[in-house]
């Protein structure tokens, strides 16, 4: 090759590097996916300073011979992608070949690889091969990429903070581990182990090594299938939620993908069981005929579309709803140090014994039968078939604290109930029920209420006046920028009526665009709060008993409509422990 041609190639590699290799995480992704392609069962990723100093990936895969080892760094070594169609098939990882050349052009690469006999050692600096020699005979490949972007200072400046680089690498490795429970992964940064999985194929153990014991103990298994899809996985009980959607992982035919609709559907299925702006931790494995999928491949993204999307979303929605709506979801007040075995945990179907130290990196050694989820959940075909029995146990009020919390008891222990949250939930379900009736009754008002608005608000309200009439308010225009309300829906309590109407009008004015369902939902939630008891209320024993019975009749007695818990539980054991009675002679 002429000097000029070599220069050309180096240059185009550098340019390509800017597109494909954006961050340390892109290098890790590239190298680790090569290791997966090489059928490795163990992949170790060692970083120095979050990968900015060096990234080393060591696998036990099939390795390369000398020719392939050199060829791997040439720009057109697209051995994995033979034609354009390959790009769109999900079982092809795509974008290799070129990426390795690009990485090598902006870093120093040290490669050792061996197919089992004589190994090969290749050293490349800034895309130039410095040395090709005999290496050791350990089967597999180890590749170390150092000083990324050392020869492209402009790129180097774009590197994010060490923390950001490390967190995106960790995030990527977590997802890879979740989608490959049969591969043993180790991720280290400067000798700190960040992730270690055992590669024994148990998804729940992988989840445990990522999220820790507390989360795993609050996960339930899910399964559902229809003609097109089969779904398996784990979801957290509603009390466990995070601020980011990032912990909702969807794996399709073994690959982690992204799909907004799936995430939204899962999140909506949890609606009113948890705050809407918080997200569950979920790992769903979806198996599907590849012809149903449309993957939009970009080296850094994995967006996916399905041709039978509605069928998938319905399946997911019903699967999640029926799972969480059939559980006793009262959170325990004390979460750590469960008493093992003999005391049955109140809502955890799978019970995982803890080793007392919380360290994620500990070798997980749980007998497989303990980690097995023992519910044989089969999906109901019709939402109407959901259980209607009471999910919340019988409990008896003992007293009221600060006019805010009811203390209750039963044979299992003690409960604290948030008066406002409980009442809010009862109101909410009552209002929703009344609003959903085919004919909503309205009550004429003895004293019609006039509401005056600013000119701009009045315009907005007039545009959506149908929302008020749909709710069964009878409204007429009344002078300048005013309306008069003459009838209200019967379900709306007459107390503080004007305040309620103003609140509803505020929702109409403030909301930019909405569906009737979302509007009704919002009205029901706001009204349930307005008409729930405030703190510092006096309640008689009968009032409390009636409230508890009302709450137990609710479809979801465990959360207020905003997703806060109504009730927490202190088991007898928790109480004994609190007073150091456990382990002692409790008669003393
Ligand atoms: Zn409230
Ligand atoms: Zn609330």
User: How many CB atoms are closer than 10 A to CB 459?
Assistant: 12
Ligand nearest to the CA of 526: 1
- How much is the pLDDT for 356? 33
- How much is the pLDDT for 313? 95
Report pLDDT digits (tens) over 314-335: 999 999 998 988 877 888 776 5
Separation of 529 CA from ligand 1 center, angstroms? 4
Separation of 521 CA from ligand 2 center, angstroms? 13
- How much is the pLDDT for 11? 60
More confident site: 356 or 219: 219
Ligand nearest to the CA of 561: 2
Where do the structural domains in the chain lie, given as residue ranges? 9-159, 201-384, 441-490+494-530
- How much is the pLDDT for 529? 93
Instruction: Please say if the pLDDT value at position 51 is more than 60.
Output: yes
Q: What is the mean pLDDT of residues 24-52?
A: 93
Task: Spell 219-255 as b/e; 16+ CB within 10 A means b.
Answer: bbbbbbeeebbebbbbbbbbbbbeeebebbbbbbbeb
Report pLDDT digits (tens) over 123-177: 999 989 999 999 888 899 999 999 988 888 777 777 778 888 898 899 999 999 9
Instruction: Please say if the pLDDT value at position 585 is more than 90.
Output: no
The CATH architecture of the domain made up of 201-384 is 2-Layer Sandwich (3.30)
Q: Where does the pLDDT of residue 289 fall: very low under 50, low under 70, confident under 90, or very high at 90 and above?
A: confident
Instruction: Please say if the pLDDT value at position 9 is more than 70.
Output: no
Q: In CATH, what class is 9-159?
A: alpha beta
Ligand nearest to the CA of 528: 1
Question: What share of the chain has pLDDT > 90, as a percent?
Answer: 48
Instruction: Please say if the pLDDT value at position 337 is more than 90.
Output: no
Instruction: Please say if the pLDDT value at position 17 is more than 70.
Output: no
Instruction: Please say if the pLDDT value at position 582 is more than 60.
Output: yes
Work out the angle at residue 166's Cα, subtended by the Cα atoms of residues 160 and 170, and round it to the nearest 5 degrees: 135
Instruction: Please say if the pLDDT value at position 199 is more than 70.
Output: yes
CB within 8 A of 18, min separation 6: which ones?
A: 152, 155
Ligand nearest to the CA of 420: 1
Separation of 429 CA from ligand 2 center, angstroms? 13
More confident site: 277 or 406: 406
Separation of 431 CA from ligand 2 center, angstroms? 15
Instruction: Please say if the pLDDT value at position 535 is more than 90.
Output: no
Instruction: Please say if the pLDDT value at position 359 is more than 60.
Output: no
Please answer whether residues 222 and 234 qualify as being in contact, where contact means their C-beta atoms are separated by less than 8 angstroms: yes
Separation of 525 CA from ligand 2 center, angstroms? 8
- How much is the pLDDT for 475? 95
**For ion ligand 1, residues whose CB falls within 5 Å:** 424, 529
Q: What is the mean pLDDT of residues 358-370?
A: 35
Report pLDDT digits (tens) over 496-533: 899 999 999 988 888 766 688 888 899 999 999 999 98
Q: In CATH, what class is 441-490+494-530?
A: alpha beta
Report pLDDT digits (tens) over 435-489: 988 888 999 999 999 999 888 888 889 888 989 999 999 999 988 889 999 999 9
* HEC-encoded secondary structure of 276-331: CCCECCEEEEEEECHHHEEEEEECCEEEEEECCHHHHHHHHHHHHHHHHCCCCCCC
């Amino acid at each position: 090759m002429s000097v000029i041609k070599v220069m050309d190639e180096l240059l185009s590699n550098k340019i390509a590097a800017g597109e494909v290799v954006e961050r340390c995480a892109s290098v890790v992704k590239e190298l680790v996916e090569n290791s997966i392609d090489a059928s490795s069962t163990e992949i170790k990723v060692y970083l120095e300073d979050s990968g900015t100093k060096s990234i080393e990936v060591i696998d036990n895969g099939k390795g390369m011979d000398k020719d392939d080892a050199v060829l791997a760094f040439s720009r057109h070594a697209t051995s994995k992608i033979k034609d354009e169609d390959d790009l769109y098939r999900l079982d092809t990882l795509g974008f290799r070949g070129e990426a390795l050349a690009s990485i090598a052009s902006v870093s120093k690469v040290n490669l050792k690889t061996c197919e089992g006999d004589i190994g090969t050692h290749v050293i490349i600096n800034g895309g130039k091969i410095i040395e090709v020699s005999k290496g050791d005979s350990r089967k597999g490949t180890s590749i170390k990429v150092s000083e990324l972007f050392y020869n492209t200072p402009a790129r180097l400046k774009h590197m994010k903070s060490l923390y950001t680089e490390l967190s995106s690498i960790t995030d990527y490795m977590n997802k890879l581990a979740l989608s490959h429970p049969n591969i043993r992964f180790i991720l280290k940064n400067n000798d700190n182990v960040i992730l270690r999985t055992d590669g024994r194929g148990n998804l729940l153990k992988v989840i445990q090594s990522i999220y820790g014991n507390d989360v795993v103990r609050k996960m339930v298994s899910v399964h559902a299938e229809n003609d097109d899809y089969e779904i398996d996985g784990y979801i957290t009980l509603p009390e466990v939620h995070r601020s980011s959607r990032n912990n909702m992982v969807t794996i399709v035919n073994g690959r982690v993908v992204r799909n907004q609709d799936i995430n939204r559907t899962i999140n909506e299925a949890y609606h009113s069981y948890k705050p809407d702006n918080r997200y569950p931790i979920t790992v769903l494995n979806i198996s599907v005929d590849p012809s149903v999928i449309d993957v939009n491949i970009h080296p850094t993204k994995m967006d996916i579309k399905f041709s039978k999307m509605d069928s998938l979303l319905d399946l997911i929605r019903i699967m999640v709803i029926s799972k969480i709506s059939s559980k006793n979801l009262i959170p325990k007040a004390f979460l750590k140090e469960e008493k093992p075995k003999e005391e049955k945990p109140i809502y955890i179907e799978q019970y995982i014994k803890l080793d007392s130290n919380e360290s994620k990196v500990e070798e997980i050694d749980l007998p497989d039968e303990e980690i097995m989820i023992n519910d044989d959940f089969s999906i109901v075909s019709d939402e109407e078939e959901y259980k209607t029995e009471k999910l919340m146990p019988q409990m008896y009020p003992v007293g009221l604290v600060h006019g805010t919390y009811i203390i209750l008891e039963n044979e299992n222990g003690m409960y604290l109930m948030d008066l406002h949250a409980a009442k809010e939930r009862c109101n909410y379900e009552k209002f929703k029920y009344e609003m959903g009736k085919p004919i909503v009754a309205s009550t004429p008002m003895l004293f019609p209420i006039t509401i005056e608005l600013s000119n701009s608000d009045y315009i907005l309200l007039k545009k959506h006046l149908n929302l008020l009439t749909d709710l069964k308010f009878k409204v007429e225009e009344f002078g300048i920028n005013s309306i008069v309300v003459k009838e209200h829906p019967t379900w709306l309590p007459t107390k503080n009526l004007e305040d309620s109407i103003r609140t509803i009008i505020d929702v109409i004015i403030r909301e930019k665009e909405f569906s009737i369902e979302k509007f009704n939902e919002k009205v029901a939630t706001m009204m349930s709060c307005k008409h729930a008891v405030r703190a510092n209320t006096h309640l008689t024993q009968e009032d409390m008993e009636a409230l508890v019975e009302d709450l137990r009749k609710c479809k979801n007695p465990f959360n207020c409509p905003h997703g806060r818990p109504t009730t927490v539980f202190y088991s007898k054991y928790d109480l004994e422990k609190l007073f150091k009675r456990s382990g002692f002679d409790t008669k003393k």
